[in-house]
Each structure stands twice: as C-alpha cells, then as structure tokens.
Structure 1
Amino acid sequence: MSKKVHEFNDIIRKLRKDLFGKGPERIHTVFVENMAVSTLYGNLTPTEKFIAGTPDGRDAVHNARTKMIQEVYAQKTPEGMEELMGAKLVHLFSDMKVEEDVAVSVFIFEKNII
C-alpha cells in the first residue's frame, strides 16, 4: 500500500471514529483518475449491530450512517484530505450493506489525483 493510500485511509478512519465512536477495522482504497474508491469493513458498533437485528433497525442504521457521513462531508472536507490529494473534493457517494457490515465511499475530486 502506498504512503498516500495509507494516509488517506487514516483520515477516513479518524473521521468515522470521531463521528460514530468506532472506525472501520479495515479499509481498502484505490485511486482511479479523479476518484478514490474506499471499501470499509467492520464499521458497526455493538449497539448498531443490536439495533440492526430487525428490518426496521437495519433501515435505521443504514439511513443514519449514510446520511450522517454525507452531511459531514458536505459541511466540511476532513482536515488534510484535500492537501494530501492535491485537489478539491467535489462529491462523495456513500452506501452501506448493514447485514455484511461493509460500506463503500467514492470520493470525486476536481482533477486527477494519481
């Protein structure tokens, strides 16, 4: 893993840990042209896992996680991300499969990052 990918993953992990009380256990990120595509494994807290034990609970966890992440990034890009990438973040697309505790985030920057 390159140093840039490692530092990018650390920014994501820290933000999610600060936000939810637990960061992902593992992150796999690839850079493609102007995008960083991150797959995040082991995201849920024990409380979220318990809540997700019912269909309504799964929906609540999914909605809370995806909407909260998108709102946080819309308000302010995480510290150091744009400097590391050498480009402004213009879009974030994020989704999660609660049952498997896997999330995907696609970060789109204003110019190529590789």
Structure 2
Amino acid sequence: MTKGQIESKLSEAISKFEIEQMGRGPEKIRTIIIQDLILIRLKGFLSMSEKKLAVNKEGVELIKRVRSSLFENAREEFEAAVKSVIDVNIVSTYSDVSTKTGEKVIVVILDQNIENFYK
C-alpha cells in the first residue's frame, strides 16, 4: 500500500470509530503520517446541542470534559481501529477539541517510524 492509501484507510477506520463510539462522524477527516506520528484532523463533528452549549465558557468546558472522557473510555477501541489498518505499537494518544472551529485533532505516537511500511 502507498502512504496515501494507508492514510485513507486510517481515515475510514477512525470515522467509523467516531460514529460507533462517539455517536456521530465528522463531515471531513484528514489523516497524515509523519515518521512515528499519525495526525488526524476531524471537521464538523460537534452536534447541534454541543454547538449551542459552546456559546459560553462553562459550555465549552463541559464539552471538552465530556468529549475527553468519552475518548478516554473508548481508547482501546480507537487503538484497535488504528491497528486494524496498520500493525503498530502505540505509545500514546492525545486528543483535543476546538469548539470555536468545530474541529478535533488526534495525535497518535508510535514506537517506530512507519514511513518504512509503505512503498
């Protein structure tokens, strides 16, 4: 597989994870592999209720806490989704949400440079 094909398959797997574990998928998703990092950028994943909550500081904090807890509780499933595409050891995973832009960024740190995996 090429780098682009792996990135595309990772995007599909992560989008499916978001739908199954978080309740809805993103409008757009982009995955980029850089050496031992996988960067995932999801756009348009906030629900209408979350968008309405995001109008004040308390709502923003609540959304971030809930989304962070949901992601932490589903971490094993997320890592399984990544491993279903490419057999790697995951060192750590980070995630953050922007209620201003409606984006989510996930960073996956691997134990090796995976640029050697593709043609």
Give aligned-pair identity as a percent: 21
Q: Which contiguous aligned blocks of 4+ residues in structure 1 show a shift greater than 3 angstroms?
A: 75-80
Q: Distance in 1 between matches of 2:49 and 2:67?
A: 13
- The 2-side partners of 1:83 and 1:55 are apart by 38
Alpha-carbon spacing, 1:101–1:78, altered in 2? closer, same or farther (3 Å): same
> How far 1:70 moved relative to its partner?
2.8
Figure out how many residues of one structure are paired with residues of the other and give that number. Answer: 113
Match of 2:92 in 1: 91
TM-aligned CA deviation for residue 94 of structure 1: 0.8
Query: What one-letter code is carried by the residue in structure 2 that aligns with 1:95?
Result: D
1:33 matched residue in structure 2:
35
SS of the residue corresponding to residue 43 of structure 1 reads: coil
Residue 56 of structure 1 corresponds to 58
Shift of 1:80: 4.4
* CA–CA distance in structure 2, aligned partners of residues 51 and 19 of structure 1: 21
Match of 1:67 in 2: 69
Q: Where does the alignment leave 5 or more consecutive residues of structure 2 unmatched?
A: none
> Which residue of 2 is the match for residue 2 of structure 1?
4
CA shift for structure 1 position 55 = 1.6
Distance 1:19 1:56, change over 3 A: same
Q: Structure 1 stretch 64-73 or stretch 24-33: which is displaced more?
A: 64-73
User: Considering only aligned residues, what root-mean-square deviation do their CA atoms show, in Å?
Assistant: 1.8
Q: Is this contact kept in 2: 1:35–1:109, CA < 8 A?
A: yes
Q: Quick one: distance in 2 between partners of 1:111 and 1:34?
A: 5
Q: Give the deviation of 1:76 after TM superposition.
A: 4.2
Q: Which runs of 5+ in 1 are unaligned?
A: none
